[in-house]
Amino acid sequence: MNFIDKFFSKYPQEKIIKWFKQICIAEAVSCFLLYGVAMIWKRYDEEGLLATIFIIIVGNIHGLFFTLYLLLCLPARKIYKWDDEDFVFALLAAFFPFATIWVDKKLAKFDRE
């Protein structure tokens, strides 16, 4: 049993599912704030100090949610009984904007056929 399995084994599945769904949404929202707000603001702001500070803060928050999403994919794989293809797809979804929402809505279901 590795460290991540050991850590998540003390929490009920319902709580892990709740965390996974929240992190999927939070990662997408932070991605929007980073790409849709901060980077555009930085491009059009002449002085750029506040925009730079905003990018640093939102970028760090996005990095945290990105990492948490990847970590929560491991217990989610066991809970949702993903095969290797689904698991790799869920991991790759972290690298595309807003794809984590798709994982939350389509891949993270118990009643998949």
**Could you state, in order of their start, the residue ranges of all structural domains in the chain?**
28-107
What local confidence, expressed as pLDDT, does residue 42 receive?
A: 84
CA distance 31 to 10: 30
Q: Which amino acid is at 81?
A: K
Is a pLDDT exceeding 90 seen at residue 29?
yes
Task: Scan for tokens 């319902």, then name that residue.
Answer: 14
**31-89 residue pLDDT tens:** 999 999 988 888 888 787 888 899 999 999 999 999 999 999 999 999 999 999 999 99
**pTM greater than 0.85:** yes
CA neighbor of 65 nearest in space, from 109, 104, 106, 10: 104
